[in-house]
Structures are given as structure tokens and as C-alpha cells.
Amino acid sequence: MILEAKGIEKSYGDLEVLHGINFTVADNETFAIIGPNGAGKTTLFKVLTGESVANAGRVLVRGKDVTGMPDFRRARMGFGRTFQVARVFSEMDVYTNVTVAIEAYLSGQDRLSSPWWAWAPTAEVRREVEELLSRFGFARSRWRSEAQYLSHGDRKRLEFCITLATQPRILFLDEPTAGMSPPDRKEITRLLRTLKKETDVAIVMTEHDMDIIFELADRLMVLNYGEVIASGTPDEVRSNPRVRDVYLGQEMSHA
């Protein structure tokens, strides 16, 4: 059991967004959180990752309470996160983006061998950067392109690249394919599938694209108005009449 959420409650002023959410995520499991807009998915995400603090409830990682832990410490513990709209360091080139990530990871683990006043990245850092870049399909000719001039799909790919540079053990993906073109979507899906197969990282994701959810998720949880209305394997959830009512039916009529 890598992640455990116990009775998470969150409200913004009088507006109660989450009412007592409970769930667990096992190692190497892909866990999806779905629900209509305004169901509280993003809020739950923020509580899990440490961006906002829950009013009640606890978040445990391997049994250790991390509820009040700031986000950078969670990152050092092995939390990785991508955002709905890819967030990379826009005014830096592709290579530097990944360098920053690798150095941040090594420094967080007290394993960065160069001092803070070092001018050039160490050979070890450069090797890891180049390895990651080629693994994520960034050709050498694009290493010096500034991130702000990348296409949406490439930025998303770069975001994955810098997130995985920190070798996360649990990965939080907020709508990983939102606003992407079909080929980019396919590529992200393929990337996630490879990641699941090759590493034992646990994934917590929200997503609106049901095809991707049903393809990737081992288990999922449906939120509606801040409550869990169903959870289980994709097949169990799909056949749940209440879920069809509040979410899937609606989603299908949209399509």
C-alpha cells in the first residue's frame, strides 16, 4: 500500500467540496479518479499532492502521515506530478529543463556531487539528461529549443520527462491527455503503458477520456459532488447504474 487517504474533507468558505473521501492505492497500481466537472477531482488532487491543506482527514504514504508535509518534501519522498496544462520552464531550453530536474532530484537526495557555486553540470548529470531526452524522443537538434516554442504535445512530453527525472514512486497525473491531438494522445498512452510495464511506479490520475481510463486504470473511483459514488475495477464501475446516471451516460451523450 503506497498511498492511503482517510476521511479527506475540504471546503472553501461555506462551499464543501470534499466530504470524507477514503481510498487506497497499491504499489504498481494505476488508480483513476473520474467524475463530472466540479466533482472535486482537482481539489482532491491538490490535497494529495500538498498544494492545499485538507480541513480534516489524513494522507498516508507507506503508513507515514504526510498530511501537513510541504510539496517539495513530498517530491523528495517520491511524489511526481504533472498538471492539466503542461507546466515546464518556458524560458529555458529543453536540455536545461531536464538539467534542472535532475539536479533538483540529486540535491534533494543529497547526492549532487557538485557544490552550489558550480558552473557546469557534472558529467553524471549530463549523461542522465541526455539519456532521458533520447528516451523521450527529443532529437539532439531540438535540445536547444526554448520550451515556450514547443507544441502542446511536446510540452506535455517534456513535462513527463522532467517529472520522471525525479524518479517518482507515485505519479499524480491531472488529465494527462487534456487538449491533445489524437496522435499526441496515443503517444502519451503508449508512454504510460511502457512506464507501467517497466517500473513499479503507482499512478493516480484524473482523466475525461474514458477510453484511456479503461485502457490504463487498474481501479477507479467516481466522484460526484465531493462524494465517492462508486469504486472498483473498470468493468465493475462501467456496469454500475448510478455511475451511468451521473457521469458515463452524460459523457457518452457528449461524444
Partner 1 sequence: MNRLALLAVAGLFVAFAAAPLVVNSGLLFIAGIVLTEILFALSWNMLFSYAGLASFGHAVFFGVGAYTAAIFLKYDYGLNFMLVIGLGTFLGGAAAFVVAMIVLRRTSGVTLAILTLALSQLMVTVIGYSGYLGRDDGIPSIPRPVVQLVVFAVDMRNQIQAYYFILIMTVLAIVLMWLLLNGYLGRRMKAMRLDPERAAFLGVDIWRLRVFAFTISGSFAAFAGCLMVPWAQIVTPATVSWLHSAQPMLATLLGGAASFWGPFVGVIVMSAVGYLTRTYAGLSELLIGTCLLIVVLLAPQGILGLLRRRVVDEQMVEDVAEHSVDSARTEKEIA
Q: Three-state SS for 196? A: helix
Q: Find out whether 209 and 226 touch, Cβ atoms under 8 Å.
A: no
Number of H helices, E strands in the chain: 10, 10
The count of residues interacting with partner 1 (CB under 8 A) is 51
Name which position in 13, 15, 91, 235 contacts partner 1 (CB under 8 A). 91
Q: What is the dihedral of CA 71, 123, 129, 134, to 10 degrees?
A: -160
Name which position in 6, 62, 76, 196 contacts partner 1 (CB under 8 A). 76
Q: Find out whether 143 and 94 touch, Cβ atoms under 8 Å.
A: yes
Q: Find out whether 177 and 189 touch, Cβ atoms under 8 Å.
A: yes
Calpha distance 80→31 (Å, rounded): 15
* Residue 50 Cβ vs partner 1, minimum distance, rounded to whole Å: 9
Residue 231's contacts (CB-CB under 8 Å, 6 or more residues apart) are 23, 219, 220, 221, 222, 237
Question: Cβ closer to partner 1: 151 or 233?
Answer: 151
- Cell numbers describing residue 64: 507515514
79 binds partner 1 (CB under 8 A): yes
Question: Cβ closer to partner 1: 137 or 249?
Answer: 137
234 binds partner 1 (CB under 8 A): no
x/- mask, partner 1, residues 197-226, rule CB under 8 A, reads: ------------------------------
- Cell numbers describing residue 93: 531550453
Which residues, numbered 139-198, are part of the site for partner 1 (CB under 8 A)? Answer: 139, 141-142, 145-146, 149-151, 153-154, 162-163, 165-166, 183, 186-187
* Residue 186 Cβ vs partner 1, minimum distance, rounded to whole Å: 5
Question: Cβ closer to partner 1: 66 or 220?
Answer: 66
- Cell numbers describing residue 55: 480541513
Q: Give the binding site for partner 1 (CB under 8 A).
A: 49, 51, 70-72, 75-76, 79-81, 83, 87-92, 96, 99-101, 103-105, 107-108, 114, 116-121, 137, 139, 141-142, 145-146, 149-151, 153-154, 162-163, 165-166, 183, 186-187
